[in-house]
Structure 1
Amino acid sequence: MDVVDGQGTQAMNRPPDPKTASALSGGPPPQDAPQSRYVPLARGQVKHALPTLGENTATVVVQHIVMPPGGTTGWHYHPGPLLVVVSQGTLTHTLASDLSTETATAGQAFVEAAGLEHGHVGDNLGTEDLIMYAVYFLPAPDSPLAIDMDLPRPGPAGEPDTAPHP
């Protein structure tokens, strides 16, 4: 494991801190050790198992998203999958493939698949801020979080055409 601290020093290459050495070795922490705080950012129930979410992942990014009423993400897709937890409000998610809509409310979590074929737009049609936490599983260190796409146009059979257009 390669751990880097805030000064760019690999923590694994330094001698152990006497305050944490006993905790790392399984012993109780010293009496004067500061207490850690763990603050849950969001909690949500997923509808489906997540067996392959982290496959082919080079970088993980966590993002706190606040979308005001009337806000939108614009049409886009993702180069890697992401896990989203809605903490407040309601997300209206429109899929480019068939223009169907889904909603996710506070306490719900969902996965967005990667690729142009999974393009979508997210809107806050509610009256309060929409607050979400997203964990992006990116295929490369320099991958963007999202890639803009054109508004879907009707295809030959009246179905949405998600191919990029100039």
Structure 2
Amino acid sequence: MTRLRMLAVLAVLASPALAEDLTPQSYQNLLTPLVQGGSDVLGAPLAYPAGTPNVTSAIVTVPVGGETGWHEHEVPLFAYILEGELTVDYGTKGKKTYRTGEAVLEAVGWPHNGVNTGTVPMKLVAVYMGGGTAANTIKVDASASK
């Protein structure tokens, strides 16, 4: 009887249906796309900086009513809002509000300021796709907003 059970288990493990479930294509079912594209939130094409790649990831937290301060990015930046709400002022390009569960390819080379307009601390995951001597973030004067 034990031999029969072993053969049954082997038959199940060797079945084509199970084999299909172990192929790389089945992993696609594990993915939930957040954002995809070749341009930032303002429509500018993304370009990686020259030099040795340097990817940095960080959790950014802004308290209720707090601001990021006017700044810009010299490298492409992916951001995903974990909690709260952030309204970003892009100057002449307008304002956009990002909420929990939303993702964005942030503006590159364009001054902007984020304000927590929600009721809880805003937390986001930031992934800077940098390299060479390009800075992830540089502070700019508010009057530099375009």
The two structures share one fold, judged by TM-score above 0.5: yes
The aligned counterpart of 1:133 is 125
Q: What aligned pairs does 1:68-87 form with structure 2 within 5 A after superposition?
A: 68-87=63-82
- In the alignment, does 2:136 pair up with 1:145? yes
The aligned counterpart of 1:62 is 57
Task: Tell me the SS of whatever aligns to 1:110.
Answer: strand
Moved over 6 A (4+): none
Aligned equivalents of 1:119, 1:147: Cα separation in 2:
9
Kept in 1, the 8 Å contact 2:48–2:130? The answer is no
Aligned equivalents of 2:79, 2:67: Cα separation in 1:
16
Name which one, 1 or 2, has greater alpha-carbon Rg. Answer: 2
The aligned counterpart of 1:49 is 37
Please tell me the residue identity of whatever aligns with 1:65.
V
Unaligned runs of at least 5 residues, structure 1: 1-42, 154-160
- Counting matched residue pairs gives 108
* Cα deviation, residue 50, structure 1: 4.0
Cα offsets for 1:66-123 (capped at 9, x unmatched): 1110111100101111000001101101003x061101111100011321xx110011
More helix by share: 2
- In the alignment, does 2:101 pair up with 1:107? yes
**What TM-score results when the alignment is normalised by the length of structure 1?**
0.57
- In the alignment, does 2:81 pair up with 1:93? no
> Relative contact order, CA 8 A, sep 6+: which one is greater?
2
**What TM-score results when the alignment is normalised by the length of structure 2?**
0.64
Aligned equivalents of 1:146, 1:69: Cα separation in 2:
22
In the alignment, which of 90, 110, 113 is matched to residue 121 of structure 1?
A: 113
* Cα deviation, residue 53, structure 1: 5.2
* Cα deviation, residue 137, structure 1: 1.1
Aligned equivalents of 1:113, 1:76: Cα separation in 2:
10
Percent identity of equivalent pairs: 30
